[in-house]
Amino acid sequence: MKESQKFALMGAAFFACFYLPVELLPFQGPVFEALALVRWYAREHVLLCLVPAFFIAGAISVFVSQASVIKYFGAKANKILAYSVASVSGTILAVCSCTVLPLFSGIYKRGAGLGPATAFLYSGPAINVLAIIMTARILGWELGLARAIGAVLFSVVIGLLMHLIFIKEERARKAEGELFAGEIEEPRALWQNGLYFFAMVAFLVFANWARPQQEDSGAWATIFAAKWYLSAGFLIMIAVMLFKWFKKGEVMEWTQSSWTFAKQIMPLLLIGVLVAGFLLGRPGQEGLIPSGIIAKAVGGNSLLSNFFASIVGAFMYFATLTEVPILQGLIGAGMGKGPALALLLAGPALSLPNMLVIRGVMGTKKTIVYVSLVVVMATLSGIIFGSISG
């Protein structure tokens, strides 16, 4: 199949999901929830979240030299610097578990070490400043503080464990990466590339700035009111920089690389969203697994309740900030504080669509280990927090 045909097919699938008339369906239940969730996902997360993320990933692949990635995130990189940057990246990006995937894929395939790359993969959606503030305000400052500390520590520990578990493969990648150590004469100054990436990330952040909970939310409300002006300004900056600093061939290569990420990732994400909606439903709605069973299973602070909360969080899809009202409802239904933290630490960073794409990037074995580490650490953190908070 030609690339133009693939693009047309993917476009048709997207518009079919976007305009899916679910309100006209004559039935309810898991199938309805799957279709409703995929329509919501297409409307809320594809154009402003995933598409910009694909272009950023394509830019990383084309405009960031492999030598640079290896220098700062590879096997020989300064570990403190690499993990520090990776572990706090979410404070800047504020993306969901699916939007971070093209960015992770870009730096990993470009030569980043498995440890820093997985630290970035976890922290991107987990350490969202607005989500942590909302958690503290709505669910209590103890849970908000525990979420912030736990997410930063998680990203570093998971990254280090992934590096150690797969140390032999990392050494092989290191040896391969040394072939690029002498690369590369950059066609632009470092500050030009830096400003270009800053503008793209800023567009992603402001275009997806969430509505504040209250009208008097200060700076958050001010930014939300101006989000489209800010987004348009950064989009214009990107266009001007592309025209002045980049050659036509480079721009074509960038779009081709972005398309490569899109066609690899989008089908898996849509399939994953359908399955997640079928099994768990949308927030406040029933899927195949009744929410009452989930609420009963996460009461108290037992090993089983924390483990169950971690598993449900890992497989359910949470858009940015939606985990807070979902948890508010579960806590009202009797969810313990420990399981609540376990879900907060596992949920935003993982989802079934997320797992399918990660498997395509780094293989089944690494994906199973990564998911297992997140679930186990979230479970243990929940037990500890539940014991301390009483």
Number of domains in the chain: 1
User: What is the reported pLDDT for 94?
Assistant: 55
Q: Domain range spanning residue 107?
A: 30-187+247-389
Q: What is the pLDDT of residues 209-231, one digit of tens each?
A: 877 766 556 777 888 889 999 99
Distance CA 155, CA 159 (A): 6
Q: Which residues lie across from 335 on neighbouring strands?
A: 299
3-state secondary structure of 299: strand
Phi and psi of 335, rounded to 5°? -65, 135
C-alpha angle 334-338-343 in degrees, rounded to nearest 5: 85
The encoded tokens of residue 347 equal 């949920």
pLDDT digits (tens, 9 = 90+) for 280-328: 777 667 788 777 777 778 878 889 999 999 998 888 877 656 677 677 6
Mean pLDDT of the chain: 81
Residue 38 and residue 274 in contact, taking contact as beta carbons nearer than 8 Å: yes
Preceding omega of 184 cis (within 30 degrees of 0): yes
Q: What percent of the chain has pLDDT over 90?
A: 17
State residue 185's pLDDT score.
59
Could you tell me if residue 183 is inside a domain?
Answer: yes
C-alpha 321/C-alpha 218 separation (Å) is 18
**Which residues does residue 299 pair with via DSSP β-bridges, in sequence order?**
335
Contact 162, 369 (CB under 8 A): yes
Indicate whether 197 belongs to any domain: no
CA distances from 78 to 50, 75, 166, 227, 322 (A): 31, 9, 19, 36, 36
121 closest CA partner among 148, 147, 83 = 83
Q: How many CB atoms lie within 10 A of CB 213?
A: 16
Query: Which of 207-210's residues contact partners 24+ apart within 8 Å by CB, and which partners?
Result: 207/48, 207/52, 207/231, 208/48, 208/49, 208/94, 208/95, 208/320, 210/130, 210/320, 210/321
Answer whether residue 198 is part of any domain: no
User: How much is the pLDDT for 214?
Assistant: 63
Other CB atoms within a 10 A radius of the CB of residue 98 amount to 27
Looking up tokens 């154009």 gives 47
Q: pLDDT band for position 367 (50/70/90)?
A: very high
The arithmetic mean of pLDDT across residues 123-144, rounded, is 74
pLDDT at 179 over 50: no
Q: Residue 161 falls within a domain, yes or no?
A: yes
- According to the model, what pLDDT value does residue 240 have? 95
Residue 358, domain member (yes or no): yes
User: Could you tell me if residue 234 is inside a domain?
Assistant: no
In a domain, 155, yes or no: yes
Whether 51 contacts 162, CB under 8 Å: no
Cβ–Cβ under 8 Å, residues 212 and 131: no
pLDDT at 126 exceeding the cut of 80: no
Instruction: Please give the average per-residue pLDDT across 372-382, as a whole number.
Output: 93
Q: Are 358 and 370 in contact (CB under 8 A)?
A: yes
Q: What are phi and psi of 272, to 5 degrees?
A: -65, -40
Is 213 within the bounds of a domain? no
pLDDT in tens, 37-84: 889 888 887 888 778 878 887 887 788 766 666 666 766 667 777 787
